[in-house]
């Protein structure tokens, strides 16, 4: 039988298993060895050749601007999903450090594996902790504050490094991070048939903890209502991802630049509307 720490992360993986979109990182007790691995700290280091390579790969398939968001997404998508979904689904979170999140070189985007080495996991309530790696916190607010410090300390240098190498501004880059922090639980709630508004509100509480830990607030994503059904809602990003600059892409339903009429038309044609039996 695994430790409580392992059980909580295993529960997260099990609950995400039936989902069509659940990009969790691999989990490990020790740092990876062998060629091709780079930690978040190494990727964010000044003059990182690996980060330059990821930006070049992204630039080969996206215009200037979106390529920076694509490169950041290549590195951080799994980490953001893990943290935001863990607090939502299992009232727990792994500790995050820049030396504990790893990316392996390979694949179409330049990264084919992401691995998280977490020395501890916090959870809300439960029996007394059995070891130093298992942290009990009294509330979801305490859980958010616990995970936020390490998350921001890991992500902020990466955002700064991508900004310096691409000249894409922090509003766009931090917007991606905070927007996905909200959209991940929303997407999971839709797939599981859970209350979408409750999922969004849980993500918003976590976002407030990230801001308190130092994440800048340039914008705020919003939950927009499209009808009377409780689940006729979907998110609108706080910052544009810039993908509309790609000729074949256009503006998304979630784009903050889209006007209300166009957004409602896209909603009517989307598969995001709730289905009731």
How confident is the model over 201-217, as a mean pLDDT? 98
pLDDT at 198 over 60: yes
Assess contact for 154 and 148: CB atoms under 8 A.
Answer: no
Of residues 186 and 128, more confidently modeled = 186
CATH class, range 4-219: mainly alpha
- Is residue 62's pLDDT more than 90? no
- pLDDT greater than 80 at residue 65: no
Give pLDDT, residue 240.
79
> Tokens in use for 264?
């409602």
| SS3 category, 117 | strand
Q: Is the pLDDT of residue 203 over 50?
A: yes
pLDDT at 153: 98
Considering only 132-146, 200-214, 221-235, which range has the smallest mean pLDDT?
Answer: 132-146
pLDDT greater than 70 at residue 117 = yes
247/211 Cα distance (integer angstroms): 34
CA–CA distance, 118 with 10 (Å, rounded to integer): 13
pLDDT of residue 131: 56
Closest C-alpha to 176, from 260, 40, 79: 79
- Predicted confidence band of residue 241 (pLDDT cuts 50, 70, 90): confident
In this predicted structure, what is the pLDDT of residue 7? 75
More confidently predicted of 13 and 249: 13
Rounded Cα distance between 82 and 219, Å, is 23
């Amino acid at each position: 039988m695994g430790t409580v720490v392992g059980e909580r992360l295993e529960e997260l993986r099990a609950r995400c298993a039936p989902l069509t979109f659940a990009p969790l990182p691999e989990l490990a007790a020790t740092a990876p060895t062998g060629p091709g691995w780079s930690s978040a700290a190494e990727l964010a280091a000044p003059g990182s050749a690996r980060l330059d390579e990821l930006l070049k790969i992204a630039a080969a398939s996206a215009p200037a601007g979106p390529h920076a968001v694509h490169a950041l997404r290549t590195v951080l998508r799994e980490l953001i999903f893990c943290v935001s979904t863990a607090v939502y689904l299992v009232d727990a979170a792994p500790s995050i450090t820049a030396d504990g999140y790893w990316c392996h070189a390979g694949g179409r985007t330049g990264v084919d594996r992401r691995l998280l080495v977490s020395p501890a996991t916090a959870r809300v309530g439960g029996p007394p902790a059995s070891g130093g790696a298992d942290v009990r916190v009294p509330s979801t607010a305490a859980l958010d504050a616990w995970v936020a410090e390490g998350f921001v300390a890991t992500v902020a240098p990466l955002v700064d490094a991508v900004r310096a190498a691409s000249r894409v501004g922090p509003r766009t880059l931090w917007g991606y991070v905070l927007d996905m922090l909200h959209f991940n639980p929303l997407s999971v709630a839709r797939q599981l048939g859970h209350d979408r508004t409750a999922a969004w509100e849980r993500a918003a509480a976590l976002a407030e903890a990230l801001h308190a830990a130092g994440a800048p607030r340039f914008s705020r994503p919003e939950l927009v209502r499209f009808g009377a059904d409780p689940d006729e809602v979907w998110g609108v990003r706080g910052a544009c991802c810039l993908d509309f600059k790609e000729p074949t892409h256009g503006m998304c339903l979630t784009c903050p630049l889209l006007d209300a009429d166009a957004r409602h038309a896209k909603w009517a044609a989307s598969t995001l509307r709730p289905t009731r039996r």
